[in-house]
Amino acid sequence: MTRHLRLVLTAVAGSLLVGLSGAVVSHAQAPAAAATYTSDGKLTFPADYRTWVYLSSGMDMAYVEGGGGQMHAFDNVLVDPAAYRTFLQTGTWPDGTVLVLEVRSAEAHQSIDKAGRSQGGRIAVEAHVKDTARFRDAGGWGFFCFHGEQPGARIPATAACASCHQAHAAVDTTFVQFYPTLFPVAKAKGTLSSAYLAEEKAK
Amino acid sequence: MTRHLRLVLTAVAGSLLVGLSGAVVSHAQAPAAAATYTSDGKLTFPADYRTWVYLSSGMDMAYVEGGGGQMHAFDNVLVDPAAYRTFLQTGTWPDGTVLVLEVRSAEAHQSIDKAGRSQGGRIAVEAHVKDTARFRDAGGWGFFCFHGEQPGARIPATAACASCHQAHAAVDTTFVQFYPTLFPVAKAKGTLSSAYLAEEKAK
């Protein structure tokens, strides 16, 4: 259990930095809101997120030197379909966007696999939600961490994930530089953040 | 170019073994067929496959000792939504199923990433299509390989991919043992193949 917890913590620390996002869809929009909340402000677990649009996966990524878990892990990122369609048109995320980060163990030698890694059990699920009114204190985005499929509490806006996303993410605090089908859209629409562009220029 | 071609070939060789699938949807079904063909029997490129349901990713997987490319690569597998819904209900694939395997480069040190790998450019796209009438010669499934987004030619039923899928795949010639959200469904519905069960028992 200690080893597992350590993995969860390091995976969460590392993975919070991968782009996520989402928020309450306005009442004018037809589809059901991807983000819904309990009366005490927790985010309802998005039970159908595995049918959302897949953005990318990483393996053992770490945003700080020496980061990453002691076990191997994949990060999968999916976004609600309405937000995805808007991004293709505009190069950025609408209010109501929910990005889900799913962390899974990276298993070796499963079945007939002789090399590399395949995905195993789910270790953590987090969400990054855009709602400019609700998250006015944090640039319009909130991070949430789930335990199992219970409603997830918001991660404080002062946590490291928020400042890192603000400083390094390519589009509207989301790590679109790691989403190969969306990055060219942002480039074409001119929505890459000035912080990201300055960082890439300085390389 | 030589290095790239070598990678494509090794990626294709390795990745053909990851579960894919698909076929012409019967005229009775409402949604548009996931698989459509040119007059000379090629499979039309499924332009919208990135909005299909994500099944899993592997990194550097190889089904033969010493297999795998010289460059690092991710395999992403997606399935058409209608087939996914049927699998959840039945534990197996309906006629008309199309699974797409997308191979992408696995990049190190992109943006602020300090460790592990993130996904880069697309290297190859293949499809595995279920159509019991059309692929009667090969147990009801056909493999297709695309070059760019042009219609893809069928891979001969005598190719190694077909016999490997037949011998080792967990459900109906598809590698459901590597799809963590579907494997428990197949287990619960009792649709795991006898070949797979015997192989796991012998371990």
Closest-CA residue of A relative to B170 is: A111
Query: What would you measure as the largest C-alpha separation in chain A, in angstroms?
Result: 52
At B8, is the secondary structure helix, strand, or coil? helix
Summarize pLDDT for B85-132 with one digit per residue, the tens.
999 999 999 999 999 999 999 999 999 998 999 999 999 999 999 999
Q: How confident is the model at residue B32 (pLDDT cuts 50, 70, 90)?
A: confident
For the whole model, what pTM was predicted? 0.85
Q: What is the total count of domains within chain B?
A: 1
Q: Which residues of A touch B56 (CB under 8 A)?
A: 118-119
Task: Tell me the count of A-B CB pairs closer than 8 A.
Answer: 131
Mean pLDDT is lowest, of A1-10, A25-34, B53-62, for A1-10
Mean pLDDT is lowest, of A9-13, B35-39, B55-59, for A9-13
Q: Does this complex have an ipTM over 0.90?
A: no
Which residues 152-171 of A have a C-beta within 8 angstroms of B? Answer: 168, 170
Q: What is the C-alpha end-to-end distance of chain A, expressed in Å?
A: 41
Answer whether residue A58 shows pLDDT above 70: yes
**Substitution target from B61, B77, B163, B182 for chain A, most A beta carbons within 10 A:** B61
Tell me how far CA of residue A198 lies from CA of A89, A194, B108, in angstroms: 25, 6, 21
Residue A195, token pair as written in the block: 């912080």
pLDDT at A100: 98
Answer whether residue A63 shows pLDDT above 90: no
Contact A63 B112 (CB under 8 A): yes
pLDDT at B195: 93
Task: Report angle CA B154, A50, A143 to the nearest 5 degrees.
Answer: 140
Please give the share of chain A, as a percent, with pLDDT higher than 70.
84
Domain, as residue range, for B107: 2-201
The angle, 0 to 180 degrees and rounded to 10, between the axes of the packed helices B160-168 and B194-201 is: 70
Q: Which residues of A touch B74 (CB under 8 A)?
A: 57, 59
CATH number for the domain that contains residue B98: 3.50.70.20
